[in-house]
Amino acid sequence: MQHHKGIEKAHVITADENNGARLCFHYDPNEISLDQIQRYAREAGVFIARKYGHLVIEVEAIREMMEASVVEAQLRKVPGVVDASVSATGNIRMEFDHTATNKQAVLAAIDKEGLKWKSVKQQEPAHEETEVETEEEEHDHSHAEGSSAAWKKYLPAIISFIMLIAGIIADSYIKPSFFAGWVRLAWYAIAYLPVGWPVASKGISLLVKGDVFTEFVLMTIATLGAFYIGEYPEGVAVMLFYTVGELFQDAAVTRAKRSIKALLDIRPDTAMVLVDGAFKEMSPLDVKVEDTIQIKVGERVPLDGVIINDGSSFNTAALTGESKPSTFDKGETVLAGMINQEKVVELKVTKLFNDSSLARILTMVQEATTRKAKTEQFIRRFARIYTPIVVFLAVGIALLPYFFVNPYVFNDWLYRALIFLVISCPCALVISIPLGYFGGIGAASRKGILFKGSNYLDLMTKVNRVVMDKTGTLTKGVFRVQEIKSFDIPKEEWLPMAAALESKSTHPIATAVVEYVGAAADDVAVDDLEEISGHGLKGRISGKEVLAGNVKLMKKMNIPVPAEVEAITDTIVVVGVDGKFAGYITIADEIKEDAKDAVDALHTMNVKTTMLSGDKQSVVDKVAAALKIDSAFGDLLPENKVEKIEQIKKGPGAVVAFVGDGINDAPVLALSDVGIAMGGLGSDAAIETADVVIQTDQPSRIATAMKIGRATNRVVWQNIGLAFGVKAIVLVLGAGGLATMWEAVFADVGVALLAIVNAIRIQRMKF
């Protein structure tokens, strides 16, 4: 169990009078969930008591990033909750102890935080997955309410802005006699309330819960302090611009969510299922394996299945990011989420809805936003320590000069302290860093690359060794004719004969020859067909004796084989006609079109490449030479691959990514620093274990994933530098009395807006 990524320590608690022996795991919830730990333990032969639950809850949009951090801290205090992770995209991951609490209590705790949940996905220890949708009138909002809510969202800022401008004009230009004293205070107080009250009330509610030092409290103290010393316009302006910053932030988060949440909007609501000879509309959750479903033109495929009538072309963009349609024929598998574009098709369902590729992707995407990068975790922890320090420093700026400055004017030093508070708000950091990661995850998902958490975006930037499986990763996993060479007879004469013979066999190598030759062999008649076990086929065509098989067949029939042919290491079909050696056909697993580009791109990024395969070394060497891979190892069993990865990881400074697609790759994916699975055709076990999934099955997307990771990392650190740099300068100026509240507003809200705009750039970048 300790080989699995995210499990830091595993040990046995010995049996006592009340309990049997138990396994205890110390784990990182940003790398592995309780659900995964239980599944791995069950596979290892452990009995799982029904103790722990794992929920993924989708809630209505959280008001802002700072709130996500605060809600997370509150949920972790709920009795029985083992871990909670809250994302501003509206996804919450909860791990809880069944013996101490239950799902209803967890949902009640979320309700108590003022968040309305829309859907709940529960993964139980027995690996039963259930999806619970809420009643619409209780938790969901109609579209009309949504547009009305959008208008209401901007109204407070508009009212405050109009009143602030009117007040400043009255103060500086018109100067009416009545606009003084209590009238002036009342005017600015009314201007303050629409934007100030929501922030102040949030701060008060958190104060009551014991969360004293939050951004909401900072802004409330700073603005009320400005009112106390008579700087009414500045007090209103700070809160107004803070609210405008929130609105910009909300729009940016919504934009970042759009590319991620677009996947959540492709869930099909209905499926047309064959029942008693007629197609009946049903929920995809009620459809069983082996049922027959119908998909009309323009409809989305609701469940994974195999085509049982004529094929059609499908738009696969939702799953792969590729806009060009793909054609699927009878007998081929079509995945949930694809859109039928050509003609009506019928499928035999192969997986339940909750086990389908689409459901698996949706779960990955929802959980990805709740898994935080180390940079984001650090900034969150930093903000929790930094804010109280700032408050105490502000108190010091206001009071300590009393002992050193003469004359000491309290209001002057209070003003400086308030400027200090406004400048030091950590919102630029708390907002822009998660936003940068959301942008990275969204940009990757548009390219058909699914990161299971922002922590893996960070880790991808450090990868310097990429180890790849051969079959299914760099090659297509299907046999294709590679080379044809003639000797005593022209190719045009013997090749159709060989294909006609091979058409009588179902062997994959025979199928590859028949597919290559095509219609040229259709009219060739074969008589006296004979299969020679372990050697090949013999038959008569147009009165000539034709042989097709291996070198042993030629020797058996006393046909001399050239030495160069015997030296060939690839899979080979040799052909003889009337006692003469006609020629040979080499068959190999076809290299993917973009495999060479993938390796070249990695070398350009100074990443070393290694290939591992269970195929024979001679074949592996040939593929490695064609692709210019740095090192290649063949004849490996799954356990040998694990040994090789362990050996590579021991290299100085090695950060290893392994790319694979098969069920036997799961242990190596778990062992590597970053496991990358080819998700289109890859096994469920490989996809479950991997940290990154490439839906397009294109190896060139490995380099794309690394570029997105590096771009995201650059933007995040640019924002950290910008926020700290500007704030440090204005803090010094503010404490020295050289900056006013207006400069403080720029240092806080202005920097936050610049950081947001910078973070949004990721979504516009071309990768």
For residue 168, give both structure tokens: 């400043």
- Looking at 35, 304, 458, 469, which residue is catalytic? 469
Work out the burial of residue 600: count CB atoms within 10 Å of its CB; fewer than 13 is exposed, 13-18 middle, 19 or more buried: middle
Q: How many CB atoms lie within 10 A of CB 210?
A: 9
Length of the chain: 767
Going from the C-alpha of 521 to that of each of 263, 503, 509, 518, the distances in angstroms are 46, 9, 16, 6
Cβ 131 vs Cβ 354: under 8 Å: yes
Going from the C-alpha of 413 to that of each of 166, 398, 420, 709, 736, the distances in angstroms are 29, 5, 10, 46, 10
Q: Which of 402-438 are b and which e, b meaning 16 or more Cβ less than 10 Å from the residue's Cβ?
A: eeeeeeeeeeebbbbbbbbbbbbbbbbbbbbbbbbbb
Q: How many CB atoms lie within 10 A of CB 144?
A: 8
Residue 451 is inside which H or E element, if any?
Answer: strand 449-451
Is-catalytic flag, 269? no
CA–CA distance, 589 with 670 (Å, rounded to integer):
27
Instruction: Report which residue type is found at 347.
Output: L
For residue 105, give both structure tokens: 């209590």
For Cα atoms 470, 471, 473, give the angle at the middle one, nearest 5 degrees: 70
Nearest to 573 by CA among 516, 624, 523: 516
Going from the C-alpha of 212 to that of each of 90, 336, 509, the distances in angstroms are 24, 48, 72
Residue 54 is inside which H or E element, if any?
Answer: strand 52-59
Q: For the chain, how far is it from start to end, CA to CA, in angstroms?
A: 37
Q: Which of 504-514 are b and which e, b meaning 16 or more Cβ less than 10 Å from the residue's Cβ?
A: ebeeebbbbbb
Work out the burial of residue 348: count CB atoms within 10 Å of its CB; fewer than 13 is exposed, 13-18 middle, 19 or more buried: middle
Cβ 391 vs Cβ 421: under 8 Å: yes
For residue 359, give both structure tokens: 């459901």
Cβ 59 vs Cβ 33: under 8 Å: no
Phi, psi of 111 (to 5 degrees): -60, -40
CA–CA distance, 313 with 315 (Å, rounded to integer):
7
Q: How many CB atoms lie within 10 A of CB 172?
A: 9
Cβ 536 vs Cβ 549: under 8 Å: yes
Residue 164 is inside which H or E element, if any?
Answer: helix 143-169
Instruction: Report which residue type is found at 167.
Output: G
Phi, psi of 316 (to 5 degrees): -105, 10
What is the set of active-site residues?
469
